Structure formats: C-alpha cells, structure tokens
Structure 1
C-alpha cells in the first residue's frame, strides 16, 4: 500500500521477550496470566508522541500504530482506516494497562504482535476520584477526571472525562492545536452476591482533531549525520503553509473540491461494550465481552514526497500573495513535495469474544476454551495528489503549471466491504511437576470478506488490464471507472507452545514457538491490482535461560522470526530521472535472527534497574523486483539478504529508578544503532539515543506532583527516506543533500499533578 511506503512501516526492531518475573519455579495463584502479559514496558513512553502508545516491534513489518485493546476488545476492528490512537489514550478512567504477549495475541486474536491492554475503571462499593492535570513548556493543557462509586443493591457507576489541547512544539501556522482530543466514558456495573462475579456496560464517546505535522528539512551529510538547513529548527519550526486551503479531485465523484486543513482532519467514535464475568463454580469462570462500534475518520495526510530544485522554466509559481511575492510570480529555488491522502473512511463493528476458563482440582491444569465472532463493515475513499511548497519555516504553497495539485488520484484508492472473523481457540497451562511447566494453545479462524472495489487488473500476476478505465491515470475517479466485486474466504490457523524447566532453584531453561497464518484483508483491494492471495505465514521460535535471585531477575534468549509474503505497493524512482516514478506491487519475505537479554536488578532498597540488550540481523528474503520506467529503461533488482530499511541491529534500553522518602527519581535511555535509508543499503542514518526522566513527589495520600523531562540531550532523531535513492548504488550525489524527514520530540519539560480522593 502507498500508506505502507509513506509512513515507513518496515521498522524491524527489538524482539522483546517475557521477563524473568514469568519464570517462577512454583505454581503461582495466577500462573494462568503469568505468560499472557509482558512486563517492564511503559507503553506510553513514546519519543514521537506523548498521547500514543510506543511501537514495540517484534522483528516484522510494523503497523500504522500499536494494536490497542480496551475492555478486552480492539478499539478499532482494523488499524486502518480508523486509527485506534485517534479514539483512545491512557486516561485516569483506565484502572489498569498492560501489554499482551505474542503467543497470547496469536491464540486469542490471530495476530502475532504486542497489543496494548487497557481496562476501564468499574464502579465500586466506595466512592473514589482521580484527577490528573498536565502541562509543559509548550503550553500543553491536558485534564483528566475519573470518579466511581456505589448506587445500591450491588449496582455502581464510573464516569470519566478527558481533554487534550496540545499546540505541539512546532507552532504550525495554519492551526492552533496539533491535537484536540475529547473523550467521555461512563460505566454501570452490577456485582453479584456470593462472589459470583459482575457485569458491566461501558459507553465511550471520542472526538479528535489530529492536525500535527512532525516533518522538517535538513541536510543529509552523506556520512549518516545531518545538519541544520538554513536556520530551520527541527521540532520548533512549522513546515506547513499558513494558508491551509487545499484543492483536490474527489476520487469518487470526480468533482474538484477545496477544504481547509484544520477542518479536514477529525475522527468520531461511539462505542458500547458489555462485559460479563461470572463464576460458575469455584473452578470455572465464564467471561463474555461484546461491543458495538461506530467510527468515522477524515484524514488529510500530507506525507513527504521528496525535494527538488525549480528553475525559471520548471513551471512553478507562487500560489498566492505572501508579502514578498505576488500570486503567479515565477518561483526558482528549492521546493518540497507533499503527497496528499485525503482519506474518508468509516467502520461499523459488532465484536464478541467469550471464554470459559477452568482449573482442575490439584491446580496442575489451567485450561481455556474461547471464541471470537467479529463482524465488520468498512469503507475508504482516498483522493491523492502531489503538492509543492517552499523549503523554509512557515512555507508558501506553490502552483505547478497553474494548478495547486498535480498527478491527482494517480494513487487513488477505494473499497466498500464487509468482513467476518469466526474463531474457536483453546489453551492449557500445565504444571507437570515442580520443575517442568508447559503451555500450549491452538486457534482455528474462519475469515471471510467481500465487497466492491475498482480493480483494473483482476489477476495478481497478469498485468493486462481487464478494466483499463480503472488504471489510476491523472484525474482518475470512480465515477468514470467501473466498480468491481471481490469475495474470498479462508481458514487461518494459529498455534503456540512454550515451556520452562527448572534445573536448580531460580535457574532454568525457556523455550517458545508461535505460528500464525493470515490472508489479505479489505485494504489490499483498495488499489488497481488484485492482491496476491497467497497466505502470510509467521513463525517465531526462541529459547534461552532464566536466572532468578533475590536481587536479580534475568532472561537471555536467542530467537528467529520470519514472515512470508509480506505485501506492499511501493514507489521506485528512476535513478537517471528523479521525476520518473513507478508504483510496483511487491511481495517479499522478512527474517530476523536475534539475541536478547532482559534483566531487572534490585541491589538495595528503593533502587530498581531494568536493562535490555538486543543484537539482531533483520534481512529481506526473496525480494526481487523489475522496474520499468517511462523513459524505456528497465532493470531488475535483488534485495535479498539486504538489511531492512529503518532498522537497527543493536537495541539498548536502560531504565533506572530510585525511591527515597516521598520522592522517586527515574530515567529511561533507549539506543538504536544506525538505520539504512534505502534498500541497496548504501545510505544510512547514524545511531541515536532517546532519553526520558522525571522526579515524582508524593505530598500526601491525596496529592502527588511530578516533573518530567523528554529528550535530555535535545537530539533531533532525524529519519526518513530518499525515494530517488532507493535503487541507487553510486551515492556521491547524496552528499550534502537536502531532504525532509521526521524527528523526535525536542527537549521538553512537563509538569503534572495527580489528585486521588
């Protein structure tokens, strides 16, 4: 998908492993949940955004955002078109948050990824309240309130409101806030007598305007380092024009439309969730979670699409008067291209998951039977185009040959579909004896989908267009094309097995294997090509040791993870002509081998240190393409065994913390080594550190204060891609090269107050 290319999804990173706290030598009371969640991960400690969960990669292509679950079910059925972080953030109304393990995710959801878990605070038999207020040196205003209390006869309630007005560190000239988010949540809970369980009904309303833009220009020096360009301050200067009006061609109707960017990016969500947790007897529990979800999303993504230099005959002119130039004046100099994705999408879901859990009499077996029935309706229409502006702080839009946008809808996407996932799964945790513990799970999923799209090529391998009017030529629209139909259904299996063997007290062996199969989803039918229908097979195997002492918990494992048939639609630039770009549907494999050591140290009272080291070797496999350019040149490329772009081979995390009296001081340091920019591995960014820290002070049992610092050393964390260099081998032209890319949050001081009553 173009989204895959534009947002640089191929970010293979640390293979995070279960921590040593999961490797105990005795049967714990809650041992069933020991292997289901991953410890030692602050999921909201994100170097790029402070209200979104961080990505914890597993060595496979990353997603647009982290998978997020709320009250046992996904915030969004799919990550796209309704990005879950537009409808969710960690709030005071969440009584607990965690991270679902890889094996558990494969069995319960059919996906091999780490999913953020969050649980809405339920009512209780005592009144309680929680208030959080956060601000920072850039005038962030965030308010968060949660209250809960009893009604009568076992009934109770909870209620929460959250608002986030974030102007961002780079003051954008066309909007007041980079993020404007509002969430309202309410819950009604009935607790059954005699410890039989409870049932809850949750309602959530979320509305977000997400208008941030974390891009900026810089000079790539050619040796992995970057330099400031013409005084532009990454993280502080805005890189979008003050005039937010954008004209595009609607991909559905073909009409020319204009919208204001600050009014064109918003997402709405209403959801109702019913949960029932009932103890059938002392050894058996029924857990049912059901959700109706209504979500709309309107995007105006302006992704980077390369820089260039205009001459007097290039056709670029100023789009409007800006004080120093008049509309229509010829522009010469450096410009930056933006790739517009004007996406309008929606989804309607009904998702139900039910689990029957049991423990045998001697507690040696903890078993589970579960089912998913997830029904979804979704649609997306994506109008596209290329737009140019000057390269400076608060730039100016440029016209090209008299038009603001060009190459309109050459990447246009559309589908209107339904999907069904119906799955049965089972698992068993077995404490064989005081040395050996085993766990196994299996899942069988029926996955069906169908709908309408606008394919030009109805065969994945034959490039002869069945419907030439659906080829994405300049000015394409569905109105002038032909709607086509698709329908498929598959069985997606998944399985996991893991075990640990205690050799001596606190020391032993660990091993795990996870497998899952996946097939194309509705998004794969959005472009002009029929997707390749071959299954995606994901295999993860790892083995190592655990070592537990009173002052140390350590796990060290070697691992290998692979994914076959990774599909994307990517742009490739003619090395001989930067304006000659082709879009190629590609399929390749990815494989990562690694060694990871995770340790938690508590050498003396009050002090805790968590460290993680990953050494890995992520590579493309079976990655061959042939690029046929418009100038008649054609060349084949083999990227097999090249290091995947945007990936570090060395990952380090260092997290010290110390409590004394009413104070707690903490820090988090993350290092990632150099990352390649292009698939030929001839250009790269140097390694960098991401740093966080803070001081917490507990005034009393009602009030606590904190001061946090992000990016101690004010590193830029510049990264990005150079589309024109993806196929080049001679990189001499990319020394002191102007490019634009992303960056991490600049040095930021944040203050917060937390009130509990």
Structure 2
C-alpha cells in the first residue's frame, strides 16, 4: 500500500500557475479560462481573488463523494498536489495518520471556496502543488440561513445547514452549523450500511470593529469520520482493457471481507486484538479552535491573522488486496466461519491498523497587506507546530475467497483465526515537528503592458522525536527501550516564484513563469526501520506561453518543465516468482516531466459557455532502482504510474432563464498500472452532467449524473503486480485495482435565506 490520499495525476492544469493579464483586465488567472463550477451544480461557492481561480470543477471527483477531484501537476500521488486550507491554514498538518477529509468537507458552513494557484502556495506555504482554499462562515450582521440536502440513487444521505446572524447592536454576531454525511457509496458491504460516515459541527462568534476597521472571529469545529476503501475485481486483457466478471460488478460489489474484521498484534504491547474497518476502530475525531480576522491600521496596512489549535485522535484501518492464486483441494484451505473445505481462487490481503493516536497541531498566520502605488505588497509570518504521540501501523495478512463480499479463509501458515505475518513491515514514530516561516509577495504593475508577480518564502523546519532501526520481522513488538533511536534535525528551506506577463497588443501577450520549492524529510519518513536520506528535495518549475483575450474567447497556451528529486515511496511488493511472498521496500527516485497545455473558454452567444483543455506531457522516473527478493531492479526512464500522457477536458454549459444545463467530459490516455510499464489501463473518459433550476431567490434544485456513459473500467494501479515484466501471462487473469464510480444519479436541494 502506498501512502496516498488525494490522488494527483499529471500536469494538465499547470497553466493556472500563470497570471496572464491584458490592458482591460488585471489578470487572466485562469478564473476566466475554465468552466464555472457554481454552488448550483457541484456545491461550491466562488471567490473573486486574483490569487485564486474559482472556475474549476475541484469538487467533481469521479472516485468518491468525499474528496476534491484530482488536480494535475505531472507528479503521482504522495509527491505533490492538493493541499486543503481552511482560513489560510492547512486543515491537517500532515495527512498520515489524519486524512484531510476526516476533518474537512465542502459545506455550506464555508463562506467561500476556491483553488489557490501553485505560485501562491509556494509563496505563502512553501509547498508544491495546488490548494483548495476555503474560509469558514463567520458571524453575519444580518440573519442568514444556508442549507443543502443531497441524496443519490444508492441511498446517499447528506444534510448540511448553517445559520448566522446578529447577537447585539454593538457588533457581536454568531454562526452555527452541522454537516451530516451517511454514504453507502455504490456497493454493499457485508457488515455496515455506510462506506463513509462523517459528522461535523460548527459554532462561533464574530465581533465587527467600528468604522469598518475589520472583525475578529472565535470558531469551534468538532468532526468525527470513518471511511472504508473498496477495490475492483476484474479480468485483465490485451491492450489494457479489463472485462467485468459475471459474478462481480465493478463499483457495485464489495471486495472487502464480509465481516470487516481483522486481527492484529499491538506493536507496542505485543497483545493480540481484533478490530473492524468500520466504526470506532477506524473513526477519527478532532476538536478545532480558530481565532481569525483582520484590522485596518491607521497607516493603511491591513493586518490579517488566523490562528488554530487542532487536537485529534487519529485512527486508520485499511485492507489492501495483494494477489490472487488458484488453490487445489490439497492446499488445505477452509472457510473460517464454517470450517468447510475450500478450493479455487484465493486472495491474499494485507490489513493495516493504526490505533488511537493523539495528534496536536498549533498554527498561526499573521500578515500585512497594502497597495502602494503600482505595488500590492504582502509580508507575513507562518508558524506550524505538530506533535504525534506514538504513531504505530500494526499489520497482518490473511486469505479470503475471491468474489463479492468474500469470506475469510484459514490456510497454510495461518493461525487458527486465519491470520499470519503479524507486524511484518510495521511502523512506528513519535515526536514533534515545527516550521516557522517569513514570506513576502508583490504584484507590480510595471507599465500598462508589463506585470510582474513574485514572492519569497524562508522557512526553518525542525524535527525532534524517536523511531526504531530494529527490523520489523514477523511477530515483532517493542520489548526493550533501547530499540528506540532519537531524531534531532534542523533544516533551512527556500521557496518562491516569479511570474511575468507582457501585452504585445491589447488582447494578445506572452507569459513566463518560474517556481521553486524546497523541503526535507518529515517525521513520518522515519516510521520504517531505517534512517532516511534527509538531503534537500528540490522542485524547480518553469513555463512559457501566450494568452489571447477577447469578449468571445479567453485562451492560454504554454509549455512547462517540472522536476522533483529525492522522492521517497514505499511499496508492498509481491514476488513475481512466488505470489505468496511479499516484501516492503523503500525507494528514492526523481521525477521529470515536460508538457504543453492549451486551455480556452469560448462564449459565442448569450448563455453558452464552452471550456476546453488539452495537455500533452511525458513524466518519467529517474534514478529509480532498488533490491527486492534478492533481485536488483532499475526503472530509470519508465513512465510514471497512473499518469496519462494526454489529457483533455470539455465543459459545455448553457443557461436560459431559471435553468442551467452543464456537462463535463474528461479524457485520460492510457495509464501505466505497474512499475515495469508492462501493464496499463486503456484510455478512458470520466463524465459528469447536470441541470439546475432556480425556483426563486431562496430555493435551488440540482440534479447531477456521474459517469453517464456508464464506463465500468478500472484505473490507478494493479495491486501486487508492480514487478511483472511480461503482460501476456496476465491476459485472462483476475486482478484487483481501483476504479471510477459507476453510473450514479444525485439530487440536491439548496435553501438560502
């Protein structure tokens, strides 16, 4: 299992890193170069900030209902991509073990949501990628009620409400809200109704200062959430095509063991215990306290502040398929629940569990902003403190039948309950990280034709904690304090960007962009039994292109180069010579990608809007080599897993009177599904469509269809097949992998008073 959460694919939308301006517009900023994603169709509110782009379908996720969509930057998951910010601070300091969607969801409890561009994330956070930038609904001077109810053809129930208004005449106001999500997804588990259960409650008070000087808000948020991952079972064929089985419908059937149970050995105490992938063994809870606001100083500087104390108890439970073998009657498998002899297809599963792990994050951002002549200046300080108390990842393996709602098996090498390999490759780390940064940005209108935007971020990053170099062999648990090793690291990191736009004519111009970020290892990098390479991780990005803006078309086209060195990834590899053997391997590698993106919005007549995006790219691995099962592997110049070389997005919409009709078509060329590039998935389309109707100024109805072409193929990677070099023996074999949601209808009702 690779540590990833919000899956990031290629560099198709890198163009929003650019700021392209014309004489009559401050910036193109791509907010006018993509389809409008309004609250009527995808449930997000828009912003009008040149540092954000508001017209991208960030919330249209083809894999699930819980996370933002993929935003493409040419890197695979875990090495770049989406950061989720709330009130200018990350909703979680690091996604492992607390996933962002366990404490944050798109909600009417958010005043606005947009997509922060890559240069702004580099300048203000020092990080690489895009960011969903959201702001909590604070108290309002007038009564305001927002509510939304969502359901689907599979029984999804989501209720979302927020109310705000005045408390007194001296400027005090209130806000309160609740988000309740009960999502069975599109398949039936054998042990629970819901694949995702999330409850978020908000409350707060806001004080408005006199003479419109600003405001200060005191906000509280409580969240609890669990989620269950599913995988598809399919038959792999030539040309990357997959065939759905008669007895297993992709996206409609569950490949999670039918009781949802797992057995573990606690890596700290050595005690055996049972757990379940739904409910309390997988439930994350958190308390969030925010103080934020702004104050306009007498000298014209706007002082903005946002502080947070975040306390969580993180838990995670996952079951990941590794391989499928065919066992004859002499192999000795029996069904665990009945003792009945079993022969046929057997699935090898890896269970991972992180018990209750306290997590603390204290963060604050303080900035000053002022327009001085032709300069829009911002200077700020960012502080992030993080503590995780004794993170562990306990592990075990088991066998199960192959089919919908499979049964656990007892087999060769298992204990009486059907489990084996306890804590092989288990993880542990504990300690503190601290990041203190200073940064500055400037948007400078040099002349009527030339605009510069630039920024610099300086950061000190320290790590203080403990890990263990003791190999995590089968049955391992900590019995001796000397097994712990200390960590004490200090790093200095620089990030920043420089963007330039030049108008050759009133409507046509050129853009040039450069972005650079640095980082070093995090505390999480020490969770395995080795001292990780702490060399600096550098990510330079450069782009050059043109833009063209008229009343009917807004177009941008540019070429981009991106490189990231010293990436670290962990793989649970299966021996291609013996599929019952697995090994956890850590790999360091570089990634390089070049691409060309063209993006335009066409408005040929009133009410009609067409957004089109086309990207060509070639992301490849460099210095990618390791040893597994006594064999040396070298994958230099191999194509990056799960990243398409050609991307296309077509987003038409039409509005007439109270109606709005829209669609979104996304094309992905073939995507490699294993490290050797021998296995791949055929090209695919992801499709969305919908209609919304404004009943009156207070009520809006919306209907959305996901995957209306009803594609049933797989995507992502193929579990257990990372080292396969010859695809032909796999033709006709049953494999497992991730997939897009099947045909799903959703209905929503929005209330705004």
TM-score range, shorter chain: over 0.9
Distance in 2 of aligned mates of 1:477 and 1:165 = 37
1:610 Cα deviation from its structure 2 partner: 1.1
Q: Partner residue of 2:67?
A: 52
1:62 Cα deviation from its structure 2 partner: 2.1
Distance in 1 of aligned mates of 2:5 and 2:172 = 46
CA displacement 1:530-583 (0-9 Å, x = unmatched): 111111100111110010000111110100111000112224443333234333
The partner residue of 1:693 within 681, 689, 695 is: 689
**Alignment partner of 1:567 is 2:565:** no
Q: Partner residue of 2:666?
A: 670
Please, which moves more after superposition, 31-40 or 102-111? 31-40
Distance in 2 of aligned mates of 1:383 and 1:12 = 33
Distance in 2 of aligned mates of 1:521 and 1:29 = 36
Say which SS state the counterpart of residue 3 (structure 1) adopts: coil
The partner residue of 2:194 within 171, 177, 196 is: 177
**Alignment partner of 1:408 is 2:422:** yes
The partner residue of 1:353 within 359, 362, 365 is: 365
Matches within 5 A, 1:373-412: 373-379=383-389, 380-401=391-412, 402-403=414-415, 404-412=418-426
Please, which moves more after superposition, 569-578 or 22-31? 22-31
Distance in 2 of aligned mates of 1:22 and 1:91 = 31
Q: Partner residue of 1:371?
A: 381
Inter-CA distance 197–486: structure 2 relative to 1 (3 Å threshold):
same
Q: Partner residue of 2:349?
A: 338
Q: Partner residue of 1:681?
A: 677
Indicate if the aligned counterparts of 2:718 and 2:737 stay in contact, CA closer than 8 A: no
Inter-CA distance 78–292: structure 2 relative to 1 (3 Å threshold):
same
Indicate if the aligned counterparts of 2:20 and 2:501 stay in contact, CA closer than 8 A: no
Say which SS state the counterpart of residue 95 (structure 2) adopts: coil
1:477 Cα deviation from its structure 2 partner: 1.1
Matches within 5 A, 1:482-561: 482-561=483-562
Distance in 2 of aligned mates of 1:316 and 1:515 = 55
**Number of residues of Structure 1 aligned to a counterpart in Structure 2:** 727
1:26 Cα deviation from its structure 2 partner: 4.8
1:367 Cα deviation from its structure 2 partner: 0.9
1:502 Cα deviation from its structure 2 partner: 0.4
Inter-CA distance 425–57: structure 2 relative to 1 (3 Å threshold):
same
Distance in 2 of aligned mates of 1:29 and 1:390 = 57
Indicate if the aligned counterparts of 1:20 and 1:548 stay in contact, CA closer than 8 A: no
**Alignment partner of 1:37 is 2:33:** no
Inter-CA distance 29–512: structure 2 relative to 1 (3 Å threshold):
closer
Inter-CA distance 722–52: structure 2 relative to 1 (3 Å threshold):
closer
Distance in 1 of aligned mates of 2:127 and 2:669 = 28
Distance in 1 of aligned mates of 2:6 and 2:717 = 8
Matches within 5 A, 1:102-117: 102-117=118-133
Matches within 5 A, 1:548-627: 548-627=549-628
Q: Partner residue of 1:650?
A: 646
Say which SS state the counterpart of residue 66 (structure 1) adopts: strand
**Alignment partner of 1:204 is 2:254:** no
Say which SS state the counterpart of residue 534 (structure 1) adopts: coil
Q: Partner residue of 1:76?
A: 92
Inter-CA distance 568–151: structure 2 relative to 1 (3 Å threshold):
same
Say which SS state the counterpart of residue 240 (structure 2) adopts: coil
Indicate if the aligned counterparts of 1:496 and 1:512 stay in contact, CA closer than 8 A: yes
The partner residue of 1:430 within 426, 444, 469 is: 444
CA-based RMSD of the aligned residues comes to 2.1
1:246 Cα deviation from its structure 2 partner: 1.9
Moved over 6 A (4+): 6-10, 29-33
Say which SS state the counterpart of residue 106 (structure 1) adopts: helix
Distance in 1 of aligned mates of 2:497 and 2:11 = 22
Q: Partner residue of 2:243?
A: 227
TM-score, normalised by the number of residues in structure 1:
0.93
Distance in 1 of aligned mates of 2:657 and 2:6 = 45
CA displacement 1:137-181 (0-9 Å, x = unmatched): 111111111111112211111111110111221011111211111
Matches within 5 A, 1:203-282: 203-210=220-227, 212-263=228-279, 264-281=281-298
Distance in 2 of aligned mates of 1:540 and 1:19 = 10
Q: Partner residue of 1:444?
A: 458
Matches within 5 A, 1:713-724: 713-722=709-718
Distance in 1 of aligned mates of 2:466 and 2:587 = 23
Indicate if the aligned counterparts of 2:184 and 2:193 stay in contact, CA closer than 8 A: yes
CA displacement 1:233-277 (0-9 Å, x = unmatched): 111122223323321111111111112332321010110111121
Q: Partner residue of 1:740?
A: 736
Inter-CA distance 94–308: structure 2 relative to 1 (3 Å threshold):
same
Please, which moves more after superposition, 501-510 or 42-51? 42-51
Distance in 2 of aligned mates of 1:724 and 1:180 = 29
Distance in 2 of aligned mates of 1:162 and 1:723 = 34
Indicate if the aligned counterparts of 2:671 and 2:681 stay in contact, CA closer than 8 A: yes
**Alignment partner of 1:158 is 2:164:** no
Distance in 1 of aligned mates of 2:680 and 2:424 = 30
Say which SS state the counterpart of residue 55 (structure 2) adopts: coil
**Alignment partner of 1:639 is 2:635:** yes
Inter-CA distance 601–219: structure 2 relative to 1 (3 Å threshold):
same
1:618 Cα deviation from its structure 2 partner: 0.6
Q: Partner residue of 1:465?
A: none
Say which SS state the counterpart of residue 2 (structure 2) adopts: helix
Indicate if the aligned counterparts of 2:177 and 2:203 stay in contact, CA closer than 8 A: yes
Distance in 2 of aligned mates of 1:370 and 1:693 = 42
Inter-CA distance 695–21: structure 2 relative to 1 (3 Å threshold):
farther
Say which SS state the counterpart of residue 223 (structure 1) adopts: helix
1:185 Cα deviation from its structure 2 partner: 0.7
Structure 1 unmatched ranges of 5 or more = 322-326, 456-469
1:638 Cα deviation from its structure 2 partner: 2.4
Indicate if the aligned counterparts of 1:673 and 1:686 stay in contact, CA closer than 8 A: yes
Please, which moves more after superposition, 162-171 or 280-289? 280-289
Distance in 2 of aligned mates of 1:338 and 1:537 = 36
1:722 Cα deviation from its structure 2 partner: 4.0
1:723 Cα deviation from its structure 2 partner: 5.3
Distance in 2 of aligned mates of 1:183 and 1:446 = 33
Inter-CA distance 135–9: structure 2 relative to 1 (3 Å threshold):
closer
Inter-CA distance 700–724: structure 2 relative to 1 (3 Å threshold):
closer
